[in-house]
Amino acid sequence: MENFDPSTIRAIEKMFQALSDDLGNGVSEERAGWRPLADFGIEPPDEGELLRRAVIESDSRGQFRLNFKNNRIRREFKTFDLQFEQLDCFLRDTEKVSEAQRILKQITEMLQITPEYWAYIIALGWWKMLEISEMPARVDDILGEGFSPEDWMIRASRSSSQLALNVARKYGEVEDFDEVVNFLEKRRICNTQDIILSLTLNQDDIQKVMKVLKWEEIEAELTEPNIKVLAFFWSFLFALKCNNLYPVTTEFSLKLYDTIWNSLENLLREKESDILSNLENTIRTLTEEGIIWASDILYLPVII
């Protein structure tokens, strides 16, 4: 680095930016960062020296980019450690998003060909959503059904798989959650070892949980888009987690989020804005009916 003048350092900074811009916009690793030397502000006399020292590499089209894979360059360019780390994050996320999109395409095509499979996706997604929500409710209602607040947290969580199955059975025959697990395993959507179900409750306790939550009233207000959009997002989020495919960078999270919505719009044949408006209207109606915890139970994941 000490042998480079300030103009060359600025050119290297521009090369990092070109790579980051391209990778962040979804350009493949092979195609990312290539530009004419003039775009980096490198004069022809400096080209040979940079190539000789393997700081840059060229392609068949006469374009150049930073030789970011060269470990010697990484060791010598300690000043750019942060930029190299960002590139590594982008490269890892490129691979993750590519695999996530493959799984998303698999699920989408599967549901298009066999709509009955929505029952499994709904069971999985709603189970995960309800479990994570911890199913808040009025303390007076909880106590009125004989639960202590501590007891409620345990029993409400244990009822989540059964409540999810109740919703799923409107769209197909699903006996129990073992059937959902077998489906996921057969389709290789995720590692079923990551599905850890709590002990299920007896029917009497499940009925009490449903009464506290006013579950029948909630189910009565749910529309098909409500049910499917929540199921799709939460089940796919679960698939990302069990396949270790969560993106690290914001750019790739947003890209994946957009891809999910594109798939949903195709599946439901509705626009994202209409689907979200439908869900908001449902939650508003439930809230006006006194089920003020509806928004804490029925919600889309904030982060992908």
Is the model's pLDDT at 298 over the cut of 70?
A: yes
Structural domain for 27, as ranges: 6-76
Residue type, 215: W
Is the model's pLDDT at 150 over the cut of 80?
A: yes
* pLDDT at site 304: 59
The mean-pLDDT minimum among 30-34, 144-148, 200-204, 223-227 falls in 200-204
List pLDDT tens digits, range 244-296: 898 888 888 888 899 999 999 999 999 999 999 999 999 999 999 999 999 99
Residues 185 and 273 in one domain: yes
Q: Does residue 83 lie in a domain region?
A: no
Of 76, 106, 129, which closes a domain? 76
Residues 119 and 181 in one domain: yes
Is the model's pLDDT at 234 over the cut of 60?
A: yes
Q: Does residue 303 lie in a domain region?
A: no
Does residue 190 or residue 36 have the better pLDDT? 36
Chain position carrying tokens 């947003």 = 254
Residues 192 and 260 in one domain: yes
* pLDDT at site 74: 86
* pLDDT at site 194: 64
* pLDDT at site 303: 65
Query: Confidence band (pLDDT; 50, 70, 90) for 198?
Result: low
The mean-pLDDT minimum among 125-129, 187-191, 268-272 falls in 187-191
Q: Is the dihedral of CA 142, 145, 150, 151 positive or negative?
A: negative
Residues 187 and 228 in one domain: yes
**Total domains in the fold of the chain:** 2
Q: CA 218 → CA 11, 51, 285, distances in Å?
A: 60, 66, 10
Q: What percent of the chain has pLDDT over 70?
A: 96
**Which ranges in 25-54 belong to alpha helices (H)?**
37-40, 44-52
Residues 158 and 228 in one domain: yes
By the 10 Å C-beta count (0-12 exposed, 13-18 middle, 19+ buried), 199 is classed as: exposed
* pLDDT at site 57: 94
Q: Does residue 132 lie in a domain region?
A: yes
Q: Does residue 58 lie in a domain region?
A: yes
* pLDDT at site 48: 87
Selection from 34, 41, 38 nearest residue 7 by Cα: 41
Q: Does residue 167 lie in a domain region?
A: yes
- Average pLDDT rounded to a whole number, residues 94-123: 93
Is the model's pLDDT at 208 over the cut of 80?
A: yes
Query: Confidence band (pLDDT; 50, 70, 90) for 94?
Result: confident
Model confidence, pTM: 0.83
Q: How many angstroms separate the CA atoms of 170 and 161, rounded?
A: 15
List pLDDT tens digits, range 35-93: 999 999 988 778 888 898 899 999 999 999 999 989 888 888 888 999 999 899 989 89
By the 10 Å C-beta count (0-12 exposed, 13-18 middle, 19+ buried), 186 is classed as: exposed
Q: What percent of the chain has pLDDT over 90?
A: 61
Mean pLDDT, rounded, of the chain: 90
* pLDDT at site 255: 85
Residues 12 and 99 in one domain: no
Residue type, 162: Q
Q: Does residue 215 lie in a domain region?
A: yes
Residues constituting the chain: 304
Residues 228 and 139 in one domain: yes
Q: Compute the half-sphere exposure of residue 68: CA atoms within 13 Å on the CB side of its CA.
A: 28
CA 189 from centre of chain: 14
Query: Confidence band (pLDDT; 50, 70, 90) for 224?
Result: very high
Does residue 113 or residue 195 have the better pLDDT? 113
- 248 CB neighbour count, 10 Å cutoff: 13
Residues 57 and 117 in one domain: no
Residues 259 and 228 in one domain: yes
Residues 108 and 203 in one domain: yes
Q: CA 101 → CA 27, 235, 246, 247, distances in Å?
A: 15, 14, 12, 12
Residues 207 and 287 in one domain: yes
The mean-pLDDT minimum among 31-35, 125-129, 145-149, 241-245 falls in 241-245
Residues 168 and 213 in one domain: yes
